[in-house]
Amino acid sequence: MLSLDKFPPGCKGVVDSLDLSDEAFRRVAAFGLIPGSHFNLTRCAPFGGPLVLEVGSTRFLLRRSLASLIQVRVAE
Contact residues toward another protein (CB under 8 A) are 20, 23-32, 34, 43, 45-50, 52, 55-63, 65-66
Least separation, in Å, of the C-beta of 62 and another protein? 5
**Quick one: 1 or 48, whose CB is closer to another protein?**
48
Considering the complex, state which of residue 65 and residue 73 has its C-beta at the smaller distance from another protein. Answer: 65
For residue 61, give every residue at least 6 positions away whose Cβ sits within 8 Å of its Cβ, in sequence order, or none: 45, 50, 51, 52, 53
Which C-beta is closer to another protein: that of 6 or that of 58?
58
Question: CA-to-CA distance for 29 and 37, rounded, in angstroms?
Answer: 10
Residue 9 CB burial class (10 angstroms; 0-12, 13-18, ≥19): exposed
Closest approach, Cβ 54 to another protein, in A, equals 8
